[in-house]
Amino acid sequence: MQWYTGNTLYDTLLIVGFAYSLLVMVSSVFGTAAYGGRFGGGKRAKGIKLGSKTGWILMELPGLLVFPVVFFMGPNADQSVPLFFLAVWMFHYTNRALVAPMLMRVQPGSTASFSLGVVIAGWATLFLHGYFNAAYLTQFGEQYTDAWFSDPRFQIGLVVYVIGFSLNVHSDSILRNLRAPNPSPDEPRYKIPYGGGFKWVTCPQYFGEILSFTGFAIMVWNLGAVFVLAMTAGNLIPRALFTHKWFHKNFDDYPKARKAIIPGIL
Ligand SMILES: NC(=O)c1ccc[n+]([C@@H]2O[C@H](COP(=O)([O-])OP(=O)(O)OC[C@H]3O[C@@H](n4cnc5c(N)ncnc54)[C@H](OP(=O)(O)O)[C@@H]3O)[C@@H](O)[C@H]2O)c1
């Protein structure tokens, strides 16, 4: 099937990718991914379970591997604009696959709750995401000359990406600091987070993640980046709604004005 780049493999996988993202969007409305203390149990969490740190590192590693391999197979791998996006990508996935899991504070005595099924689903996404973007940047995309740096799509996208990434990392750090560096088993596992984006929404970390992939999609301007934006939004918007409901059920004093994910709207 040839409809976007003219390359049969790429164009066919893009159709498969968008069909997969539609499936994820629909299924996430009925139940969120089985990982973490709040959602790692229940019917969707059958089978092998891993600890949080291991689960995250294992799931996200293809993000650090597939993209550079495909990137350097392309003829334009030595051009400034693709190299800039390589740097953004490696920065983003070094945080997601290594830094964030290493810093994570695990409640002592908590049982392994990261489902192997979630890791495998994550691999499928990251293989497609890495291939789509790297192949487009160095093989199929024709817009990535040095002039792209002065294109408004690049500049606006970069600003949105930086805002989203900063919100994500700041919100992750507020959540992390709700637990002591070596948490005591007597401490409650979950507390109400305050400050930063939590002033407006229950899941500013997810809002930041969606904004960062929106910015990335605008700055690279290709459908491969829209694929991961669809996957991320399809997964995280329903998860934020489940998390919001969970907080209201478990904390009587949960701030009433807080929305789930989009300030003032949702
Ligand atoms: N691109 C994507 O599709 C995608 C998908 C999923 C996640 N992510 C990103 O990955 C990061 C982690 O996501 P996540 O779903 O694991 O987020 P999360 O639910 O916010 O959990 C992150 C960490 O904070 C702890 N935590 C959460 N709420 C807490 C509270 N109220 N009190 C004390 N500790 C709390 C969790 O502990 P427990 O493990 O004990 O619950 C976990 O260690 C986020 O930045 C998210 O945006 C991206």
- Ordered mean pLDDT values, 10 residues apiece, the chain (266 residues): 91 97 95 88 75 95 97 98 98 98 92 91 96 98 97 98 98 97 90 98 98 98 97 97 98 97 97
Give, for 115, the enclosing helix (H) or strand (E). Answer: strand 114-115
Q: For residue 125, what pLDDT is reported?
A: 96
Tell whether ligand 1 has an atom less than 6 A from the beta carbon of residue 191: yes
Residue position matching structure tokens 């009587």: 252
100 CA → ligand 1 middle, Å:
10
153 CA → ligand 1 middle, Å:
30
- The residue extents of the domains of the chain are 8-250
Q: For residue 111, what pLDDT is reported?
A: 84
- One DSSP character per residue, 191-221 reads ----SGGGGTBS-HHHHHHHHHHHHHHHHH-
Is residue 196 a contact partner of residue 258, using CB atoms and an 8 Å limit? no
Q: For residue 40, what pLDDT is reported?
A: 81
The amino acid sitting at 41 is: G
Nearest ligand 1 atom to the CA of 203 is 20
Mutate-to-test residue for ligand 1 from 205, 210, 211, highest number of ligand atoms within 8 A of CB = 205
Q: For residue 253, what pLDDT is reported?
A: 96
Tell whether ligand 1 has an atom less than 6 A from the beta carbon of residue 71: no
0.75 cut: is pTM over it? yes
Q: For residue 185, what pLDDT is reported?
A: 86
8 three-state secondary structure: helix
Tell whether ligand 1 has an atom less than 6 A from the beta carbon of residue 168: yes
Determine if residue 42 is left, alpha or beta; phi over 0 gives left, psi from -120 to 50 gives alpha, anything else beta. left
Q: For residue 2, what pLDDT is reported?
A: 81
Q: Compute the distance between CA of residue 82 and CA of residue 214 in angstroms, rounded to an integer.
A: 18
Is residue 8 a contact partner of residue 218, using CB atoms and an 8 Å limit? no
Nearest ligand 1 atom to the CA of 213 is 1
Tell whether ligand 1 has an atom less than 6 A from the beta carbon of residue 174: no
